Structure 1
Amino acid sequence: MKIDILFEDGEALVIDKPGGLPLDRPRAGGPCLEDHLEDLKLGFQRAPAPVHRLDQDTSGCLLLARNPKALKRFSAAFEERLVEKRYLGIVAGELTEDEGKIELSLSKVSTAKSGWRMIPARKGKPAVTHWRKLDSLNGLTLVEFRPETGRTHQIRVHAASGLGAPLLGDPVYGTGKGAPRTMLHAAGLTVPRGEKLPIVAESPMPADFTALGFSDA
């Protein structure tokens, strides 16, 4: 599996993470991002480390820090909500509105039968997502999501519970049908660095999105 590099300098890499590749080794074994970190040294002594998380199914921009100081600074930028993130998602259904803001606090619940998931809950952690409809086709809608916060599964829950239209292929918050993976793509990332130029990366629309008839917005 070849991993494309979208941005590279002395302290950061942004890679184009393939959909289906987990960051950590699954319990049952199998490939993960850890297998590629040695190759991503690119002449540096240290292997780069992921600064944030993307779900296994989610493709697109993933920031890696090339030294501990950069990791600390970039992590703080995410925590302080200074990072601009742009996602593309295909939802199962047609939306009546063109754009909006979803404010649904999220809480983690767990059961022995179905494992853990995130749910909207008034006492949960605040979560805010801005969204905009880009295109509709065959009962599906291409949506741009710009999350203000970075909660676990935020866009997936906000699509299902806030828009009333889950992401296509989502097995937890939707039916799991219509696509072989949850159709969410991290299309853009901008990370400020004070006096230095910001890290700016964009990932092209993946092939499984275009196969459904959508083109890069």
Structure 2
Amino acid sequence: MGHAENKLGFGQGEGELLGFTYPKPLPMRLDRWLVSQRPEQSRARIQKFIDAGYVEVNGVTGQAKTPLRHGDLVQLWMPPPEPLEYLKPEAIPLEVLFEDKHLIVLNKPAGITVHPAPGNKTGTLVNGLLHHCPDLPGIGGEMRPGIVHRLDKDTTGCIVIAKSQEALVKLQIQIQQRIASREYLGVVHGAPKTTEGTVVGAIGRHPIDRKKYAVVADEQGRYACTHWRLLERFGDYSLLRFKLDTGRTHQIRVHCAHIGHPMVGDVNYSRCRKLPVELPGQALHAVELGLNHPVTGERMIFEAPLPGSFERLLKHLRLTNT
């Protein structure tokens, strides 16, 4: 619908007013549908827009849970992206697996957050990327320039970052449509009774501890599906390989805890247990990332070597369980 004056006080050129007509026969939550319509925006950012009153349904301010019905008119006011001027480039070492003018693939170490957040605007992967790629600001806006998907702070391995707006949108669509593939290695407590399986369970905020996530009722969270395969057993521990159909926050960790095999070293979803070796966080590593190049269309597969702590853990478990 273009630029316009709106009741929130934004004037010509200050953001953008977008209009959508809900086309589906079955109802759907407002926040979920808007995320599907704006793949370049995170769900958290869309929810912030809704909470701030930037979204109307048929002329009435919407709520995240507002059910959309066929023919409803949804208007979303997109305020201008927050400037990145306060985000300082930092000379943070980056392990580059691949790079061209469209994208960069890194092997992320443990202990580094992917992008800044309020109260944490330094020492992130984005700060290092801004130093490495001076043209990154403005791609994706806000505090997530170029970020296609995330890894938890203490999860290691493959992560792809877009270096152009075109690449960002195309790669995010690949993630959403499962064209991109993401596989992980993880060591869990216990020994699964079968050699493979699939965990399907909606993930949402934990009902008591809002800093954590949990498997919740379908209407209270977002659909999540994790496939797993047993690679090795080590007594009371197991090495699993995971493949994601979806990419919810803490998905593998939450699903593993849900089936009674929490991730080794996970302080949030595993009971405090003495670890076989010292770990910087959970023993979870994004070992393989597959995607179609956003410009050439070439299928590309990237593999990230295991970090030293993960290798030491496996060596110890193999030696003590032979």
Q: TM-score range by the shorter chain?
A: 0.7 to 0.9
Partner residue of 2:236? 139
Q: Secondary structure at the match of 1:212?
A: helix
CA contact (8 A) 2:154 2:280 kept: no
> Which structure is higher in strand share?
1
Partner residue of 2:304? 203
* Alpha-carbon shift at residue 117 of structure 1 (Å): 1.7
- 5+ residue gaps, structure 2: 1-91, 138-144, 317-322
Select the residue among 158, 168, 174 that pairs with 1:71: 168
Q: Secondary structure at the match of 1:196?
A: coil
Q: What's the TM-score once normalised by structure 1's chain length?
A: 0.87
**Which one has more relative contact order, counting CA pairs under 8 Å at least 6 apart?**
1
Q: What's the TM-score once normalised by structure 2's chain length?
A: 0.60
* Alpha-carbon shift at residue 33 of structure 1 (Å): 1.0
Q: Secondary structure at the match of 1:63?
A: strand
Select the residue among 281, 286, 300 that pairs with 1:186: 286
Partner residue of 1:21? 112
Partner residue of 1:6? 97
Q: Deviations over 1:52-106 (max 9, x none)?
A: 1111011000100011111111111112222111001111222221111111122
* Alpha-carbon shift at residue 214 of structure 1 (Å): 4.6
Please list, as runs of the form range in 1=range in 2, the aligned pairs for 1:17-166 lying within 5 A after superposition. 17-25=108-116, 27=119, 31-41=123-133, 45-46=135-136, 49-109=146-206, 111=208, 114-123=209-218, 124-162=221-259, 164-166=260-262
> Between Structure 1 and Structure 2, whose CA radius of gyration is higher?
2
- 5+ residue gaps, structure 1: none
Q: Secondary structure at the match of 1:49?
A: coil
* Alpha-carbon shift at residue 185 of structure 1 (Å): 0.6
2:115 alignment partner AA: D
* Alpha-carbon shift at residue 28 of structure 1 (Å): 5.8
Residue identity (%): 31
Q: Secondary structure at the match of 1:200?
A: strand
Moved over 3 A (4+): 44-48
